[in-house]
Amino acid sequence: MTATMIAARKEIPDEHKWDLAPLFETGEAWEQLFIQVEKDLTHYETYRGRLKDGVRLFKAAVEFHLDLTRRIERLYTYAHLKSDEDKSNQFFLGLHEKALNVFTRASEMASFMTPEIQSLPDAVVNRYLGDESLGEYKFYLEKILRHKPHTRNASEEQILAMSREVAAAPSQVFGQLDNVDLKFGTVADENGHQIELSHGNFMTFLINPHRDVRKKVFFQYYQAYQDHQYTLAATLAHSVKKDLFYSRARNFENCRIAALFGDNVPEAVYDNLIATVKANLQPLFKYLGFRRSVLGIEALHFYDTYVPIISDVQFHMPYEEAVAVCASAVQPLGDDYARILRDGLLSGWVDRYENRGKRSGAYSSGCYDSPPYILLNYEENNINSLYTLIHEAGHSMHSYFSRKHQPYVDHEYTIFVAEVASTFNEDLLSRYLLNLYKEDPKMKAYILNREIDNIRATLFRQTMFAEFEKASHAVVEANEPLTLEVMTAIYRQLLETYFGDTLVLDPELSLEYLRIPHFYSAFYVYKYATGLSAALALADKVVSAGEPARRAYLDFLKLGGSKFPLDELRQAGVDMNSAAPIEKAIAHFDHLVDALVEIMDGHSLFSG
């Protein structure tokens, strides 16, 4: 029997791919801008040592730097999107490397600016900050001055800038190994049909109703990581060591403080998340116990935690229909928001389907001068793909409003608030679907089940990931070796804490951390959990309070990076310095579990 293989890039119709023409019409246009940028790098020398020489020259230096950075972002965005279309394409991999290289060289050439600004006499700084012509750059300058205790002299900053390309090696090696070299073989589905196993369809297999299929896929998938565990452990350990190098080079107490500093987020917010979630694990244990009983199995394994516990519900939604559903779901945000979202998702923002060599997962990306592009690996038979679409669309709409309402210097919002915009949209989708299927108890239970699993994965799971990052970095900060055995032991202990006795922890699951790409961007994942908590609170406000809350939320999207993230969220109506949003999110999870239990018991719904 012929196996179903992943399509090659050339086999994907153009209408299903993103349109990168707004960035560059041709490869030649990219090369022309690249050549011009290389020439312009030398202009930095015009301003070196002269930032104290008056407002006019200072403003010219800042605007030159921002303009060059903006052009490099165009180069990089195109190159990384093209490279992600097919990671085996060496031409675009080379283009990506050229973009990274010119960014590194620009950072090196510009490395004098930050320490020179920070060395300006207070009288000069106050005069610049008070000058009307520099008003647009005030927050930008305040952020630079805030980093003064963590900035080296000009020559040391130059060396640190030169190190960036080398420091990216662990992430680059992991990306190539994980997306290109790892092969997972083929798997027979319940009908005996051989299908190539990939990152893109792994989760689809895990929602397969046939347990023997799920079990085989789980162990076969993890066998690839077990076969490469020492290499993957080495790449992750050196990524953590890279974080330690930069935190010490910049005079931070630890890696986490260094990572949180740019967002002005105190460690207490991070620790508060972990402590609050760990103190409230009982709703999770209750759900997993209920899942085990409904599935009718003696012991719950990881490969049993994603399959819908509602039987005989076949989900199928072509991409175009998914877009229409998303547009209807976000209607509480107004007609304009829904229209812009729908038009973008259908007209060139999105690279829709998996192809051989394509980067796994999904993301929203772009730059100030491009549409807010979305990479997907959309699966019509997986409801998670629908949620992924509206999640990434939330990011892209955030980018759309930010770029439309903020100047380049302030347009780039932080990841901390980005996860609010994406999970806010997911919550609206769940509300829409639950109302759509309110007369269908089986479908309503199916949606409740999916929403519960989403919160479980975002709040509880990402918090566990956040604690793993904290613990693994603490090892290197104590000057201890971060080996495969050490990391695996840390992860195993966390699995035991966060799952209690509700889950059989197969040894392969202890290697799960080796496949998480976000660990190469340290102290990132906690933002999923805080973002979800904030999003649930804000979505509830918009739905219940109406127009004032809707305006406040849309104004929040328009802020871009013009304020620190906690200040932006406070303006939108939620205080993340408090445990209240996290506690409310867990209470919401508990309520959904109770609703699922009630509807399934009341209608005798069960899974096979």
Q: Tell me which of 73, 392, 451, 469 is the catalytic residue.
A: 392
Q: What are phi and psi of 119, to 5 degrees?
A: -90, -5
Instruction: Tell me if 369 sits within 8 A of 395, measured CB to CB.
Output: no
Instruction: Tell me if 128 sits within 8 A of 134, measured CB to CB.
Output: yes
Q: Where are the domains of the chain?
A: 9-165
The matching CATH number, chosen from 1.10.10.10, 1.10.390.10, 3.90.800.10, 1.20.140.70, for 9-165 is: 1.20.140.70
Rounded to two decimals, the pTM is: 0.82
Cβ within 8 Å of residue 27, ≥6 positions away? none
pLDDT at residue number 560 = 97
Cβ within 8 Å of residue 316, ≥6 positions away? 380, 381
Q: What are phi and psi of 245, to 5 degrees?
A: -55, -50
Q: Which helix (H) or strand (E) holds 583?
A: helix 580-602
- Residues 384 and 381: their CA atoms lie apart, in Å, by 9
* DSSP annotation string for 438-482: TT-HHHHHHHHHHHHHHHIIIIIIHHHHHHHHHHHHHHHHTT---
- Residues 315 and 337: their CA atoms lie apart, in Å, by 27
Q: Which of 105, 95, 45, 115 is nearest to 69 (CA)?
A: 105
- Paired tokens of 518: 């976000």
Q: Measuring CA to CA, how many Å separate 441 from each of 274, 287, 296, 427, 570?
A: 35, 19, 20, 20, 38
Question: Does residue 392 carry a catalytic annotation?
Answer: yes
3-state secondary structure 139-157: HHHHHHHHCHHHCCCHHHH
Q: What angle do CA 383, 546, 541 make, to 5 degrees?
A: 65
Q: What angle do CA 165, 171, 172 make, to 5 degrees?
A: 70
3-class SS of residue 194: strand
- Residues 411 and 373: their CA atoms lie apart, in Å, by 16
Say how many Å lie between the first and final Cα of the chain, rounded: 29
Q: Measuring CA to CA, how many Å separate 493 from each of 286, 307, 505?
A: 20, 25, 11
pLDDT at residue number 200 = 80
3-class SS of residue 196: strand
Q: What angle do CA 377, 378, 379 make, to 5 degrees?
A: 120
- Spell out the long-range contacts of 105-111 with Cβ–Cβ below 8 A and sequence spacing 24 or more: 105/41, 106/37, 106/41, 106/68, 106/69, 106/72, 107/161, 107/164, 108/158, 108/161, 108/162, 109/41, 109/42, 109/44, 109/45, 110/44, 110/65, 110/68, 110/161, 111/154, 111/157, 111/158, 111/160, 111/161
Q: Are strands 373-375 and 350-351 parallel, antiparallel or unpaired?
A: parallel
pLDDT at residue number 460 = 98
Cβ within 8 Å of residue 335, ≥6 positions away? none
- Residue 165, burial from CB neighbour count under 10 angstroms (0-12, 13-18, 19+): middle
pLDDT at residue number 608 = 46
Positions of the chain with pLDDT under 70: 1-2, 605-608
Residue located via tokens 């992430």: 171
Q: Which of 501, 598, 537 is nearest to 288 (CA)?
A: 501
Q: Which of 215, 191, 528, 205 is nearest to 379 (CA)?
A: 205
